[in-house]
Amino acid sequence: MRPIRQETDMADVAYETNDGTLTAEEFIGLAQRVWPGEYNARLVEEALAKTINTTARRGGYLVGCVRVLTDGYLFGTVPELMVDPVFQRQGVGRRLMELAWENSPTSLFFGAQPGNEAFFRKLGYKRSLTSFGRRKPRLK
Ligand SMILES: CC(C)(COP(=O)(O)OP(=O)(O)OC[C@H]1O[C@@H](n2cnc3c(N)ncnc32)[C@H](O)[C@@H]1OP(=O)(O)O)[C@@H](O)C(=O)NCCC(=O)NCCS
């Protein structure tokens, strides 16, 4: 995918959609800081290749990421949005979600983690579909 150069904000955080430099290792590094767990680097790499990824970096270091999974016409969702705990509440999550929206060809529907409802409301999202889920262990 062609990289879409975005901007650098007041806190020197640079945003880029279709960031071709995003590696599974740095994505997992961020995920470990937000949701510690086991991640398979090869399968993460395959997953990253299927989504529109927007990154937030400070001095090259990955401080936030949002992915959009869309079929290009009928449906789109946000598999996850993560901001490094040290960088939270500085506007990074808001800008990532704005860029996710601008670069998505479709509407977006997703589930919010409990406690984040007010964040999404502030960004213009409204309560929508009731969410259902059934868990499977992640592939190893
Ligand atoms: C949720 C998350 C992405 C928010 O990112 P962030 O960079 O901290 O948020 P921002 O600084 O851009 O916040 C934008 C606005 O929402 C508010 N806000 C942020 N998180 C909030 C929360 N949990 N509850 C209420 N308001 C919140 C901010 O105060 C700010 O308000 P303002 O514009 O009036 O000043 C971040 O906390 C995170 O990564 N959390 C862990 C992972 C997670 O839960 N991801 C979302 C899955 S649904």
H or E stretch including 43?
helix 41-48
* Contacting residues for 8 by C-beta, under 8 A, at least 6 apart: 14, 15
Q: How far is the CA of 90 from the centre of ligand 1 (A)?
A: 9
Q: What percent of the chain has pLDDT over 90?
A: 91
Provide the β-strand partners of residue 56. 15, 64
Q: Is the pLDDT of residue 7 over 80?
A: no
Task: Decide whether any atom of ligand 1 lies within 6 Å of the 83 Cβ.
Answer: yes
Task: Decide whether any atom of ligand 1 lies within 6 Å of the 92 Cβ.
Answer: yes
- Measured N-to-C along each axis, helices 24-34 and 41-48 cross at an angle, to the nearest 10 degrees, of 100
Task: Decide whether any atom of ligand 1 lies within 6 Å of the 82 Cβ.
Answer: yes
1-5, 31-35, 83-87: the lowest-pLDDT one: 1-5
Q: Global pTM? A: 0.95
Task: Decide whether any atom of ligand 1 lies within 6 Å of the 81 Cβ.
Answer: yes
Tokens at 81, concatenated: 């949005």
Q: Is the pLDDT of residue 5 over 70?
A: no
Distances (CA, A) of 4 to 12, 96, 109: 18, 13, 23
Q: What is the mean pLDDT of the chain?
A: 95
**In order of start, what are the domains of the chain with their CATH numbers?**
4-122 (3.40.630.30)
